[in-house]
Chain A
């Protein structure tokens, strides 16, 4: 696969880390980066070194690369990916917006015809959460429930998206159909890997169920929750009262899979703790490298639960410092 080029569009907290992770790989000798903010594109491009070409706005043409990592703010990925797929480019999207995920999933048939990949939700969650769900499912003869929870945000764009998500409608998969639930409802105490530990989590407009329900045929329930405080819930439908932290804080994800093993009920809980921007950037980079190396399981548009073998993917993430964990014990 030598000679295939990679680009990163969007150099915020996630995109700049994805770029750095890509450049640390032998498979990516050079990288093209873009950002709507010319100063940021120039500064990040310079900090990444001489092997990086920073293209400055305004952009009149699509980026010239075989694989493009989209790390732009939520809501922009559908149109960008449509244009790239039409030019036979593979796309890695880190968006966790329901609209983006829906628009990207609609590209599946075109991407299959063209033999390119559209990796949807290649971030911390969705992304690593999808890989963990696939990895956990290997322990079961059949699974019927997947419940994802996440805590923390990446950069400011991610924080704004989470704020909107808590005030919007959640989509759960239940008994073969989609169920809309009010964001901020359904409080559940979820235990995350230390030091995040126990957090109250609520329904929110998260796209995990849109990616996991098609990936696990026969599953009857898929839900996604987000950690929030009472103040977050109270202010979710208002503009953000305080500017988000530029780097976010520590975060975590937790994936609970329930099903059957040896004719008995079985539950497996996997998780990970990291700064969400670091985790998302690393997952996006490893997903791009999987496409670059031809390790994706099929062309087309889907989440990581459908597109990658979880074991080598998790091993590569661990090698890069993003480590998964398993919960052993009981909560109560």
Chain B
């Protein structure tokens, strides 16, 4: 029973560590975007 409990704790610890690494270092990528930025010039500033 103690061994089972210890193994469960180790498994949870390892899973938590891997999840933390993925959470901190992983990237979901950046969604696509249509459009862009245009500098405000003369007509915009009148």
Residue numbers of A with Cβ under 8 A of B are 189, 191, 193-194, 197-198, 230-231, 234, 270-271, 311, 314-315, 318, 323-332
Query: Bound state CA distance, A271 and B33, in angstroms?
Result: 16
* B interface, CB within 8 angstroms of A: 23-24, 30-40, 44-46
Which B residues touch A330, using CB under 8 A? 33-35
Q: Is the interface of B mostly helix, strand, loop or mixed?
A: mixed
Of the candidates A234, A323, A332, the one whose C-beta lies within 8 Å of that of B40 is: A323
Contacts of B36 in A (CB 8 A): 194, 327-329
User: B28 → chain A, closest Cβ, in Å?
Assistant: 9
Give the top 9 A-B pairs by smallest Cβ distance, nearest first.
A329-B35, A325-B37, A193-B37, A324-B40, A315-B45, A198-B30, A330-B34, A329-B34, A325-B39
Residue of A nearest to B23 (CB): A230
Pairwise interchain contact B24-A325, C-beta atoms closer than 8 A: no
Q: How many A-B residue pairs have CB under 8 A?
A: 57
CB of B17 to closest CB in A, whole Å = 14
Nearest-neighbour CB distance to chain A for B11, whole angstroms, equals 23
Which residues on A sit within 8 Å (CB–CB) of B24?
230-231, 234
Closest CB-CB distance, A266 to chain B, in whole Å?
15
Task: Name 19 A/B residue pairs within 8 A (Cβ), A-sorted.
Answer: A189-B31, A193-B37, A194-B37, A197-B30, A198-B31, A311-B45, A314-B40, A318-B40, A326-B37, A326-B44, A327-B36, A328-B36, A329-B35, A330-B33, A330-B34, A330-B35, A331-B33, A331-B34, A332-B33
Instruction: Tell me which residues across on chain B come within 8 A of A194, comparing CB atoms.
Output: 36-37
Q: Give the Cβ gap from B30 to chain A, nearest Cβ, in Å.
A: 5
Nearest Cβ distance between residue A187 and chain B, in whole angstroms?
Answer: 11
Give bound CA distance, A326 to B38, whole Å: 5
Interchain CB contact under 8 A, B33 and A318? no
- Chain B residues within an 8 Å CB radius of A234: 24
Q: How far is the CA of A327 from the CA of B46 in the complex (A)?
A: 18
User: Which chain B positions have C-beta within 8 A of A193?
Assistant: 37
Given contacts A197-B30, A198-B33, contact A323 B39 (CB under 8 A): yes
Query: How many Å lie between the Cα of A160 and that of B30 in the bound state?
Result: 28
B45 to A191, Cβ gap below 8 A?
no
Q: In the complex the two chains form, is B35's CB within 8 Å of A327's CB?
A: yes
> What chain A residues lie within 8 Å of B33 (beta carbons)?
191, 198, 329-332
Q: Please report the C-alpha to C-alpha distance between residue A332 and residue B36 in the assembled complex, in whole angstroms.
A: 13
Q: A193 CB to closest chain B CB, in angstroms?
A: 4
Residues of chain B within 8 A of A198, CB atoms compared: 30-31, 33
B45 near A327 (CB under 8 angstroms)?
no
B24 CB → nearest A CB, Å: 5
Residues of B within 8 A of A314 (CB): 40, 45
A325–B33 Cα distance when bound, in Å, is 17
Interchain CB contact under 8 A, A326 and B40: yes
Question: What residues of A have a CB within 8 angstroms of the CB of B44 in the complex?
Answer: 326
Contact partner, B34, options A311, A315, A332, Cβ 8 Å: A332
Chain A residues, Cβ within 8 Å of B23: 230
Least Cβ distance of B32 to chain A in Å?
Answer: 7
Chain B: which residue is nearest A198 at the CB level?
B30
